[in-house]
């Protein structure tokens, strides 16, 4: 029996090679996996999640608007937006000295909707 298998949920230790190979073939490469986990880590912070939800609702907001809305400092919002930009979750545009942020694309909106829907589901 392999190490750590003492707490297995299977009654019998048995390998299913076809299922294992199918799962192995479906696993993404290291770079894609790294980008995906970086994205999910960025979503895992309540403040960043709230920023994204605000942008989803409003379309575009500046740092000052976001700071007022969330009740945090402009500096804190700027820091969080840098992390969200690095994860490619938000995009921005300049209008003179003002910078407006928005969700980077429809995938981000879909991620937010799925996360909220899943969180609101009853445990069955």
Which of 67, 68, 55 lies closest to 104 in space, CA to CA? Answer: 55
Span 99-117, average pLDDT: 96
CA atoms of 45 and 28, how far apart (whole Å)? 25
| Pairwise pLDDT comparison (2 vs 106), residue with the higher score | 106
Percent of the chain with pLDDT over 90: 67
Q: Is the pLDDT of residue 124 over 60?
A: no
Where residue 27 falls among pLDDT bands split at 50, 70, 90? confident
Please report which residue ranges of 1-105 form alpha helices under DSSP H. 17-26, 30-43, 46-58, 63-70, 74-86
CA atoms of 71 and 9, how far apart (whole Å)? 46
Q: Given this model, what pLDDT does residue 1 score?
A: 47
Which of 22, 2, 21, 23 lies closest to 13 in space, CA to CA? Answer: 2
Query: pLDDT digits over 34-84, tens only?
Result: 888 999 999 999 999 999 999 999 999 999 999 999 999 999 999 999 999
Q: Is the pLDDT of residue 8 over 60?
A: no
For tokens 């804190």, the residue is 76
Which CATH fold would you assign to the domain 10-120? Answer: Arc Repressor Mutant, subunit A (1.10.10)
Which of 68, 52, 60 lies closest to 94 in space, CA to CA? Answer: 60
Query: Tokens at residue 36, please?
Result: 């995906």
Q: Given this model, what pLDDT does residue 9 score?
A: 67
Q: Given this model, what pLDDT does residue 3 score?
A: 53
Query: Distance of CA 124 to CAs 10, 64, 121, Å?
Result: 22, 42, 9
Length of the chain (residues): 124
Sequence-separated contacts (24+) of 12-21 with Cβ below 8 Å:
none
């Amino acid at each position: 029996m392999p190490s750590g298998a003492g707490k297995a949920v299977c009654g019998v230790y048995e390998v299913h090679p076809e299922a294992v190979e199918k799962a192995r073939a479906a696993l993404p490469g290291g770079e894609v996996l790294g980008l995906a986990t970086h994205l999910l880590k960025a979503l895992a912070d309540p403040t960043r999640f709230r920023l994204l939800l605000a942008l989803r609702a409003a379309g575009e907001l500046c740092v000052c608007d976001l700071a007022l809305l969330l009740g945090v400092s402009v500096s804190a919002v700027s820091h969080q937006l840098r992390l969200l930009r690095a994860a490619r979750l938000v995009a921005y545009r300049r209008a003179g000295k003002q910078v407006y942020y928005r969700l980077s694309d429809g995938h981000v909106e879909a991620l937010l909707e799925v996360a909220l829907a899943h969180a609101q589901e009853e445990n069955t």
